Chains A and B, each alone.
Chain A
Amino acid sequence: GGDGAGGGAAPAAGAAAEAAAGRVLFPPTFSVSEIKNKQRRHFMFQRWKQQQRKEKLASRKKRRKEREALGDQAPPKPVPKTIENQRIYDETTVDPNDEEVAFDESTDEFAPYFNRQTIPKILITTSDRPRGRTVRFCEQLSTVIPNSHVYYRRGLALKRIIPQCIARDFTDLIVINEDRKIPNGLVLSHLPDGPTAHFRMSSVRLRKEIKRKGKEPTEHVPEVILNNFTTRLGHSIGRMFASLFPHDPQFIGRQVATFHNQRDYIFFRFHRYIFKSEKKVGIQELGPRFTLKLRSLQKGTFDSKFGEYEWIHKRREMDTSRRKFHL
């Protein structure tokens, strides 16, 4: 009874609309969402969806046929839009041939490292009272980074240990901040008066949690891969990371540490590689992995109150667009 009435009403309405408009509406256009009956509505929607899929498949087939028919003269395949493609152009992107940048880099705080005047010596420490996971992570990190030492901080103020570190010839200081028994922050500070970077660390995986891992990282100096650091800020962070590792990697060790920047997230991985042939290389992950997100970059050494910040991540201003990245 109700269905019949509904069915009867719809074509009648359609006919009335046709007559009223004076032009042909083919088929009667009522939107699916106006049907009050849920089951019916669902059914009509499914049907509409199937139709759409069919049409899409048909159009795709047609396009492929056309492309094959044209052969060589086919227009090039349209490149899908990705976030990396659509990235808003950052004006501080470094041009590889930029002289100003090259000059800056040769005179900034990392110049002594890149001129091989200093050998990196790293101090790894944590915030107060580290829990098990953080401790193990620190140990693993110290095996990954050559020439690094782990010291526990028993309530010492950072400002007071920094001059001691400088006196003992350390070049870098890493502080791993802990929250609820997991490490969640990293402060990397280049010691003789160098910049301090504060990162948020996430998805930390210790060695035993990595599947298909190899043996422990050996004492050989690993190579460093820095991917995708394009802007000025990215460059300085990249140089910071590079200065953690000694300059001359030992290729016998076949180990590589990778800092890959993607959409402002820096992924750290540590692999052992082996060249199976000229075009194939196998990599095996060993060592911890974690991701970093830069929160702030400070000009001097760690000083939370009076430091001069070169860059702070301000959420309201900087997170306005999905396609804008700063590193």
Chain B
Amino acid sequence: GRCYLYVKTVERAAFPRRLWERVLLSSNYEKALEEIDENLIYWPRFIRHKCKQRFTKITQYLIRIRKLTLKRQRKLVPLSRKIERREKRREEKALVAAQLDNAIEKELLERLKQATYGDIYNFPIHAFDKALQQQDAESDSDTEKEEEEEDEDADKREFVEADDSELSDFEDMDKLETSSEEGQEDKSSSEEEEEEREKKAVRSKSKGKTPLKGPARKKRPYIEIEYEEETEPATKTKTT
């Protein structure tokens, strides 16, 4: 941008169109200052000084504008409130429809079934059981099946105990649960007891320590301790 000097004279106050006199200043800063001086020659010193100050300010900000336009500028994009609200609502509904936890769990179980985890987890035997059952459904009698499963479960349990892994208790619980469906009533009653004890263990543990978060990771030795705790309060109430 080029700067102009506008000079107003009192004599010309009657003619608004010709009131202002325009002078183009040179783009060289020092020369422009001299031009201001020679144009405002008979004006008081103070006014000339102020005019030059103003001119300096203007040139400074013009320089800055030119520099900024070369850099990247932040572009402001207007948001439409209606659109924003619509998007937010749709997102909430999509979240509800997604059922993320279920989807993730399903996917993980799928991957487990397809053995992408290799031999880390000891579960595949159950699938093997199922396959066996389906094959033997026609030929074998029920008792035989039960015996087979009992044996395998017993083996499984022994195997797991020797292994001493964290997940063993849960495995046992669910294994016993599912196998009870095939009609092993003794086991089911014992399972229920164990489950109750488990649940109580869970509750008593949570009372003492921080609240359980998500999948509880229990170590085997601790659970035996829970049994003892669980019986103590009962005795206490009796005495008091």
Q: What is the interface of chain A, defined by CB distance below 8 A to chain B? A: 82-84, 128, 155, 157, 202-203, 212-214, 223, 225, 227, 251-252, 256, 258, 260, 262-265, 267, 269, 271-285, 291, 293, 315
B87 contact set on A, CB distance < 8 A = 202, 293
Q: Report the count of interface residues on B (CB-CB < 8 A).
A: 42
- Residues from chain A with a CB closer than 8 A to the CB of B173 are 277
Interface centre among B88, B100, B178 (most CB of A within 10 A): B100
Counting residue pairs across A and B whose Cβ atoms lie within 8 Å, the total is 114
> For the complex, what is the distance from the CA of A104 to the CA of B177, rounded to whole Å?
49
Interface contact B214-A284, CB-CB below 8 Å: yes
With A276-B215, A278-B123 as contacts: A262 and B107 at CB distance below 8 Å: no
> Looking across the interface, which residue of chain B has its beta carbon closest to that of A280?
B174
Choice from B95, B111, B118 contacting A267 with Cβ under 8 Å:
B95
Cβ-based interface call for B105 (8 A): yes
Instruction: Report yes or no: B112 in contact with A275, Cβ–Cβ below 8 A.
Output: yes
Query: Which residues 91-111 in B have Cβ within 8 Å of A in the complex?
Result: 91, 93-95, 97-98, 100-101, 103-105, 107-109, 111
B120 and A277 contacting across the interface, CB-CB below 8 Å: no
- Do A273 and B174 touch (CB < 8 A)? no
**Given A251-B120, A269-B100, A283-B215, is A277 in contact with B94 using a C-beta cutoff of 8 Å?**
no
A127 to chain B, nearest CB (A): 8
Looking at A83, A223, A275, which has the most chain B CB atoms within 10 Å of its CB?
A: A275
* Contact present for B91 and A202 (CB under 8 Å): yes
Please judge, given known A-B contacts A263-B90, A273-B108, A277-B170, whether A282 and B97 are in contact too, CB under 8 Å. Answer: no
B124 contacts which chain A residues (CB < 8 A)?
Answer: 278
B residues within 8 A CB of A281?
A: 105, 108-109, 112
Q: Given A283-B214, A315-B83, is A227 in contact with B107 using a C-beta cutoff of 8 Å?
A: yes
User: In the complex, what residues of B have CB within 8 A of residue A280's CB?
Assistant: 170, 174
A178 nearest CB across to chain B (Å): 11
The closest CB in chain B to the CB of A263 belongs to B94
Contacts of B112 in A (CB 8 A): 275, 278, 281
**Knowing that A202-B91, A264-B94 are A-B contacts, what are 20 other residue pairs whose CB atoms are under 8 Å apart, sorted by A's residue number?**
A128-B74, A202-B88, A214-B213, A225-B104, A227-B103, A252-B120, A258-B104, A262-B94, A265-B91, A273-B215, A275-B112, A276-B215, A277-B167, A277-B175, A278-B123, A281-B112, A282-B215, A283-B101, A284-B213, A291-B95
User: What residues on B are CB-neighbors of A275 within 8 Å?
Assistant: 108, 112, 121, 123, 167
B91 and A203 contacting across the interface, CB-CB below 8 Å: yes
